[in-house]
Amino acid sequence: MKKTLMMAAIATVSATTVMAEEEPVLNVYNWSDYIAEDTLAKFEEATGIKVNYDVYDSNEVLEAKMLTGNSGYDVVVPTSDFLQRQIAAGAYQPLDKSLLPNLANMDPDLMAGAAVYDPGNTYATIYMWGTTGIGYNVGDVAERLGEDYTVDSWSIIFDPEIVSKLSDCGVTMLDAPTEMIPAAMNYLGLDPRSTKPEDIEAGAALLEKVRPYIKYFHSSQYINDLANGDVCVSVGWSGDVFQAQARAEEADNGVEIGYVIPKEGALQWFDMMAIPADAPHPENAHKFINFIMDAQITADITNYVWYANANKASMPLVDVEITEDPGIFPTPEAKKRLWASVVYDARTDRLMTRAWTRIKTGQ
Ligand code: SPD
């Protein structure tokens, strides 16, 4: 055998050996409140692979780990705009699509939307998607703004006259600068996708104006707080607000929670499953991603976490109260008012982060 051929043969054998030797362990890092109760147990039972599962509630936290490397995670779930930046930094390995037959279940239109951030869907597939809108306590808002008041506008957050009347029952915002500042820009009639420093500063100035009426900035605490009646208005992620609604119903505590995609529009985002470049168990990672894309498994997750999925084959298995809820699957009319997240360059990112610190600390 020629030397090069022999080397290639050895490489193939050792690669096969490495694959065969992968320990039955998988380290997953996902958003909090984002999986069905039995998903991991079902995966473990089906594959014999033990899952270590950690959670986060911020893209910035995940990004810091991905850009540092050596996270030890095998599957992570960045939002599409952050994913694009992390792909450019070499943080992920391309998916081996031959190991993902369930990709056939995915909705081609939604995957094309995600491909804007990851051409060819090379590095990631959609986990769930949603919108960033307003969760509110129906009774508390009616008490303060009147029975006839309709919650349908960002003015409930961004108009000082209105939000000041709600601050006693608790108004909260996501701790997510790249979502809150564009929402404020949009309310001002500016392009929420603009990266012009003056537009970003205008959005930040509006946030500073309403800052005195905001109880806290946090991206997961509001679920329980809304459900328990401890806060009354939260800028939140669609499914999380619906989970608050479900928890309140379950507790039978008299709290009624609504979710609205404001008439001025809202952010639509995709959360993507990806495998870090240095994942210790890439073969198990592929098994997990393929398992999640099973129609029944995805439907079970959507039915539990109230987030829209991009798995066309799962739709008949998703509860009708979910598929027909316009807060979860927006109507074609509402879809026209959604904007897609922007991938910010380092300069704009710094500008946003600095403005955000100023807004949060009130300095
Ligand atoms: N509890 C799950 C929250 C998922 C939120 N995804 C982040 C979207 C960022 N735009």
Q: What is the pLDDT of residues 276-302, one digit of tens each?
A: 999 999 999 999 999 999 999 999 999
Number of other CB atoms surrounding residue 168 within 10 Å: 12
Query: Do 160 and 97 share a structural domain?
Result: no
Query: Do 251 and 357 share a structural domain?
Result: yes
CATH code assigned at 44? 3.40.190.10
Q: Name residues of the chain where pLDDT drops below 70.
A: 1-20, 363
Query: Do 6 and 111 share a structural domain?
Result: yes
Number of other CB atoms surrounding residue 150 within 10 Å: 10
CB 272 within 8 A of CB 114: yes
- Residue 264 alpha carbon to ligand 1 centre in Å: 21
| Interstrand relation of 50-56 and 25-31 (parallel, antiparallel or unpaired) | parallel
Please provide the DSSP assignment of 88-135 as one string.
HTT-BPPP-GGG-GGGGGB-HHHHHHHHTTSGGG-SEEEEEEEEEEEE
Tokens at 356, concatenated: 């955000």
Q: Look at residue 331 and tell me if it is in a domain.
A: no
- Residue 22 alpha carbon to ligand 1 centre in Å: 31
Best of 54, 55, 237 for a ligand 1 pocket test (most atoms within 8 Å of beta carbon): 237
Q: Look at residue 325 and tell me if it is in a domain.
A: no
Query: Do 220 and 352 share a structural domain?
Result: yes
Query: Do 80 and 159 share a structural domain?
Result: no
Q: Look at residue 113 and tell me if it is in a domain.
A: yes
Per the structure, the count of domains in the chain is 2
Residue 32 beta carbon below 6 angstroms from any ligand 1 atom:
yes
| Interstrand relation of 257-260 and 124-137 (parallel, antiparallel or unpaired) | antiparallel
- Residue 18 alpha carbon to ligand 1 centre in Å: 35
Looking at residue 320, what is its pLDDT? Answer: 98
Q: Look at residue 323 and tell me if it is in a domain.
A: no
Query: Do 278 and 155 share a structural domain?
Result: no
Residue 43 beta carbon below 6 angstroms from any ligand 1 atom:
no
Q: For residue 79, give the DSSP letter.
A: B
Looking at residue 20, what is its pLDDT? Answer: 59
Looking at residue 362, what is its pLDDT? Answer: 79
Residue 334, CB half-sphere, CA atoms under 13 Å: how many?
19
Vertex 226, ends 337 and 315: CA angle to 5°?
A: 50
Residue 3, CB half-sphere, CA atoms under 13 Å: how many?
0
Best of 31, 193, 307 for a ligand 1 pocket test (most atoms within 8 Å of beta carbon): 31
Query: Do 84 and 140 share a structural domain?
Result: no
Query: Do 107 and 211 share a structural domain?
Result: no
Q: Angle of helix 282-292 relative to helix 295-305, nearest 10 degrees?
A: 70
The CB-based long-range contact list for 203-211 (8 Å cut-off, 24+ gap) reads 204/355, 204/356, 204/358, 204/359, 206/158, 207/180, 207/181, 207/355, 207/359, 208/358, 208/359, 208/362, 209/160, 210/157, 210/158, 210/160, 210/163, 211/359, 211/362
In this structure, the residue with its CA closest to atom 10 of ligand 1 is 269
- Residue 31 alpha carbon to ligand 1 centre in Å: 7
Q: Look at residue 333 and tell me if it is in a domain.
A: no
CB 173 within 8 A of CB 180: yes
Q: For residue 212, give the DSSP letter.
A: G
CB 337 within 8 A of CB 261: yes
Q: Which amino acid is at 183?
A: A
Query: Do 224 and 96 share a structural domain?
Result: no
Q: For residue 214, give the DSSP letter.
A: -
Percent of the chain with pLDDT strictly greater than 70: 94
Residue 158 beta carbon below 6 angstroms from any ligand 1 atom:
no
Query: Do 263 and 209 share a structural domain?
Result: yes
Looking at residue 267, what is its pLDDT? Answer: 98
Query: Do 233 and 300 share a structural domain?
Result: no
Residue 58 beta carbon below 6 angstroms from any ligand 1 atom:
no
- Residue 275 alpha carbon to ligand 1 centre in Å: 18
Within 8 A by CB and 6+ apart from 54, the residues are 27, 28, 29, 30, 73
Number of DSSP helices (H) and strands (E) in the chain, helices first = 17, 10
Tokens at 304, concatenated: 């539990």
Residue 154 beta carbon below 6 angstroms from any ligand 1 atom:
no
In this structure, the residue with its CA closest to atom 7 of ligand 1 is 79
Q: Look at residue 330 and tell me if it is in a domain.
A: no
Q: Look at residue 85 and tell me if it is in a domain.
A: yes
Q: What is the pTM of this model?
A: 0.93
Q: Which of 68, 57, 234 is nearest to 141 (CA)?
A: 234
Task: Give the structural domain span for 169.
Answer: 131-268+339-361
Query: Do 289 and 262 share a structural domain?
Result: no
Q: Look at residue 274 and tell me if it is in a domain.
A: yes
